[in-house]
Amino acid sequence: MFDLKSVTQRLAAGQFKVTRQRQAVLSAIAASHARLSAAEVYTRARRTCRDLGLATVYRTLDILIDIGAIRRVHLDDGCEGFAPASAEHGHHLICGHCHATVEFEECDLTAMLKRVERSTGFKVEQHWLELVGQCPACQEKA
Amino acid sequence: MFDLKSVTQRLAAGQFKVTRQRQAVLSAIAASHARLSAAEVYTRARRTCRDLGLATVYRTLDILIDIGAIRRVHLDDGCEGFAPASAEHGHHLICGHCHATVEFEECDLTAMLKRVERSTGFKVEQHWLELVGQCPACQEKA
DNA sequence: GTGACTGCAAATAATTTGCATTACA
DNA sequence: TGTAATGCAAATTATTTGCAGTCAC
């Protein structure tokens, strides 16, 4: 689970210090249930921590990815965004409208991967899967 | 199929002019069987067309995506790359070592998507899938 | 001929790095 | 207290845009 306490513990368990800035970044991501760009994380985290620098946000995001607390997602404009990662192996489903983000674990590509491996001779090592759609709330509004 | 002739025709069929520069970009991508970054396309296409500008490469790549001749892929460093797109609906399998790229069409996520839709309430509209592995040649070398 | 296309250089945007200072453990 | 972490500003990298000249049709 992505909850503040457990992530803070994981930070401390690593060789990482739990600073005011890191907590602010963490809370901003935890509070938002959408994928955020680095700039968005910066803006939100700054509400809690006035003197936060953008460089620190980038540095913190890297660490959070390292310890598996968040995951990179691909944005439509080519840049990268970040979303909380609860599951060990999960993927993200993102609302194309409001960017609400849900994580799902049911990802059984095994059969497909086998077939692709057989037909191409490649050995598949990792996969990158992201779904875009419309969340319940945005469906109602439409 | 991604073959020079058909893409050239598709260019002409649209309102696009078939210029020396566009042909160079096209040939560079066709010749390489790997995904390329914009800078790599530039370097390669320049061998054929000495006075090619990087801006033109970007402009051309956009057009090629529009007419469905190539597809964006996600690079490990966060930037974007480009790979030939033969099939209407295909995905890419990329060698993590030499970047050789193969397109595959066997992508039946239907069952999985149904399940995800049911459990999340989202309506899935598009999916982004990319596989990374090791190509036959690189497996032998290892 | 003429409007789309181009190169170049300058503008923007996204991210990273260097370094003197601060603050967690 | 010692060292990792920080803010800021400058550096780097990726991409886009403006514009005068050029070329495909």
Q: Do B133 and A139 touch (CB under 8 A)?
A: no
Q: Do B104 and A116 touch (CB under 8 A)?
A: yes
pLDDT category at A76 given cuts 50, 70, 90 is: confident
A133: left (phi over 0), alpha (psi -120 to 50) or beta: beta
How far apart are the CA of A112 and the nearest CA of chain B, in angstroms?
7
Q: Do A102 and B113 touch (CB under 8 A)?
A: no
Q: Which residues of B touch A136 (CB under 8 A)?
A: 121-122
Query: Which pLDDT value is given to residue B48?
Result: 96
pLDDT category at A51 given cuts 50, 70, 90 is: very high
Select from B93, B121, B125 the Cβ nearest to the Cβ of A116.
B93
Scan residues 16-45 of chain B and list those with Cβ within 7 Å of strand D: 17-20, 37-39
- Whether the predicted pLDDT of A20 surpasses 80: yes
Residue A49: helix, strand or coil by DSSP?
coil
Select from A107, A126, A133 the Cβ nearest to the Cβ of B112.
A107
Across all residues in chain A, what is the average pLDDT?
A: 92
Residue A103 contacts B, CB cutoff 8 Å:
no
- Whether the predicted pLDDT of A1 surpasses 60: no
pTM for this prediction? 0.89
| Cβ within 8 Å of residue A46, ≥6 positions away | A24, A52
Residue nearest to nucleotide D7 (CA to C1'): A53
More confident residue, A123 or A141: A123
- Whether the predicted pLDDT of B1 surpasses 70: no
Residue A138 contacts B, CB cutoff 8 Å:
no
Residue B34: helix, strand or coil by DSSP?
strand
CA of B105 to C1' of C6 (A): 37
Does B101 contact strand C, using a CB cutoff of 7 Å?
A: no
Cα(B42)–Cα(B54) distance, rounded to whole angstroms? 6
Q: pLDDT tens for residues B57-98?
A: 999 999 999 999 999 998 777 778 999 998 788 999 999 999
Scan residues 36-55 of chain A and list those with Cβ within 7 Å of strand D: 49, 51-53, 55
Which two structure tokens, joined as six digits, stand for A92?
A: 């993200």
- Amino acid identity, position A90: G
Out of A27-31, A102-106, B4-8, give the one with best mean pLDDT.
Answer: A27-31
pLDDT category at A11 given cuts 50, 70, 90 is: very high
Q: pLDDT tens for residues A85-140?
A: 987 889 999 999 999 999 998 788 999 999 999 999 999 999 999 999 999 999 99
Which two structure tokens, joined as six digits, stand for A102?
A: 């849900």
Q: Nearest 10 degrees: CA dihedral of A60, A133, A126, B130? A: -110
Tell me the residues of chain B between 18 and 57 that have a Cβ less than 8 Å away from chain A: none
Q: Give just the sign of the alpha carbon dihedral B85, B91, B95, B99.
A: positive
